Amino acid sequence: MDMDKVEGSVLNDQMCLAYKQCIHDLAQTPARNTCSRKGCGRLLSIQQATVRSALRLKWVCEAGHVCHIWSSQPVLKYGLSAGDLRLSAAILFSGNNFQKFEMLARYLNMPCMGSASFHHLQRHYLVPAVEQTWEAEEERVVKARKSQQIVMLGDGRMDSPGHSAQYCSYFAMDNASKEIISVVTVDKRETGKSSTRMEKEGFLRTLENLDRKGVLVAEVVTDAHPSIAAYMRKDKPDIKHSFDIWHVGKNLAKKILKACLKKQCSPLKAWLKHIVNHFYHVSSTASTVDEFTGLWFALLHHVTNEHSWVLDCGGGICECSHGPLTDERELEWLEKGSAAHDALREIICDRRFLNNIPYYLNARSTAELETLNSLVLMYAAKRFSYTPPVYRARNLLAALDHNYHLQREQKLNKDGSARVCQSFNKKSARWTVRPVKEQKTYPHMATLIRNVFQLRLSADKPLSSVLCLAESDPRRISRNIAPVEPPSKKELIEQFKSRFSKND
């Protein structure tokens, strides 16, 4: 093939989306040369028409009689091509964005539906199909936990940092199975355009949702969010509340780092990891506040190379729980009463920390929920803006992806050993290994797509019909999330002009 031919039939021709069966049918269609209309018999020509991503061929005679029509995609009710619907579903369900897909199609020279059609399909069929699929999944998880008391891990996730956040998605996980059991999305407009109130709102709605579904929550685990802690103490005294110990550990490390900056306190730095690990150890071994404090205060003696001591109140002898120290220690002992030791005492005896001990006792962690973060980002990328129903649908897709892949096995090497891969953690500047899991199979994909087509088949209106905002849609509260209503376009143009004419 030379370049001329490439220019003509390779570079400039359009591509289209075709079903294999449609091509097969076309191949089996007997050749037609003349019009089949009674008494006509004129010569036929084949006309091409692109209908969104589909190609339609029409056999037309010189008198305009249409003898046969072929489409590269099956045509559903009201003229919608099956491929267009499936393509739209694939764009949303795979976490892509229409704008990016449209660009891809442009480079392919493949016609596809426009933005308005995509968004119509999304609202009428795709978002409802995700909701349906999630509802069934939620029902399954709830049913499996019915009449059992659960430990609920909860965490709110903002779509962007600080005050610029518009949405908070609150995920609740069953601690035993690590399945997502509830997803709530809160829009800033539902909390008086305050992004700081969204997390608590999400938490409250999560508890309501679980209560309505008949899930018995015995314990909730969250980060140390003050307004959630206050609510639990006051309004839900029967439910145990625990804090995520990794958050507490991180704060402890921050406090120690800050203390190290004080005069003559640098020897403390070498102990940082040890102190934080001691906290995790104590949280997971102590079952009462007294046990916790006993083990926790032991650290103050241990760091000075004192491993058994007499209690201040004269209550006998205490000792470290680590047994005889055998290894050559790299850590330098702190001097009793030194600045570093005093700084540590301040941290160990911090009243707020000690008051919170009941929250640490079960050594609960919401770390599993944090792995969901990257999944949510895959389905709802930060650079794009979404309407409330679409944002919720994208979060539900992440939850479905999570639940359906919980049972994935670790990959095996040829010798049968479990496969791991090395990765460099930028934050901790350390190399670690993590297990390599089997490839994802997306078993829920078929259900999602089936639900889309079922919704379309039961539709009683053509595509262009208007869809009202749902009763609970936050856009009913306010059209935008800005704290003040926008000035008129005319005013903005005037402002713009005057700003630039000053320097002329």
C-alpha 164/C-alpha 353 separation (Å) is 31
110 lines the binding site for Zn ion (CB under 5 A):
no
Query: Taking CB under 5 A as the rule, which mask of x and - marks residues 25-44 in contact with Zn ion?
Result: ----------x-x--x-x--
Q: Which two tokens stand for residue 425?
A: 């953690």
CA of 80: how far to CAs of 105, 109, 473, in Å? Answer: 19, 21, 28
Residues with Cβ < 8 Å from 177, sequence gap 6 or more?
141, 144, 406
C-alpha 261/C-alpha 253 separation (Å) is 13
Token pair 């997971």 in the structure block, residue: 284
Which amino acid is present at 213? K
C-alpha 416/C-alpha 292 separation (Å) is 42
Min dist. Cβ of residue 22 to Zn ion (A): 25
C-beta closer to Zn ion: residue 57 or 75: 57
Which residue, among 356, 369, 362, 366, has the nearest Cα to 229 in the 3D structure? 356
275 lines the binding site for Zn ion (CB under 5 A):
no
Min dist. Cβ of residue 46 to Zn ion (A): 14
307 lines the binding site for Zn ion (CB under 5 A):
yes
Chain residues 54-73 in contact with Zn ion, contact rule CB under 5 A: 61, 63, 65
Chain residues 431-490 in contact with Zn ion, contact rule CB under 5 A: none
Query: Taking CB under 5 A as the rule, which mask of x and - marks residues 318-347 in contact with Zn ion?
Result: --x---------------------------
Min dist. Cβ of residue 272 to Zn ion (A): 17
CB atoms within 10 A of CB 147: 7
C-beta closer to Zn ion: residue 38 or 430: 38
Name the phi and psi angles at 151, rounded to 5.
-100, 120
Span from 154-162, 297-305, 415-423, 424-432 in contact with Zn ion (CB under 5 A): 297-305
Which residue, among 450, 367, 443, 446, has the nearest Cα to 401 in the 3D structure? 443
Q: Are 175 and 153 in contact (CB under 8 A)?
A: yes
H/E segment holding residue 343: helix 339-348
CA of 192: how far to CAs of 166, 187, 203, 477, 481, in Å? Answer: 12, 10, 17, 9, 10
C-beta closer to Zn ion: residue 40 or 363: 40
Min dist. Cβ of residue 25 to Zn ion (A): 23
Span from 165-173, 299-307, 392-400, 446-454 in contact with Zn ion (CB under 5 A): 299-307
For Zn ion, how many residues bind (rule: CB under 5 A)? 10
Min dist. Cβ of residue 354 to Zn ion (A): 21
Query: Taking CB under 5 A as the rule, which mask of x and - marks residues 394-433 in contact with Zn ion?
Result: ----------------------------------------
C-beta closer to Zn ion: residue 37 or 497: 37
C-beta closer to Zn ion: residue 65 or 68: 65
Residues that bind Zn ion (CB under 5 A): 35, 37, 40, 42, 61, 63, 65, 302, 307, 320
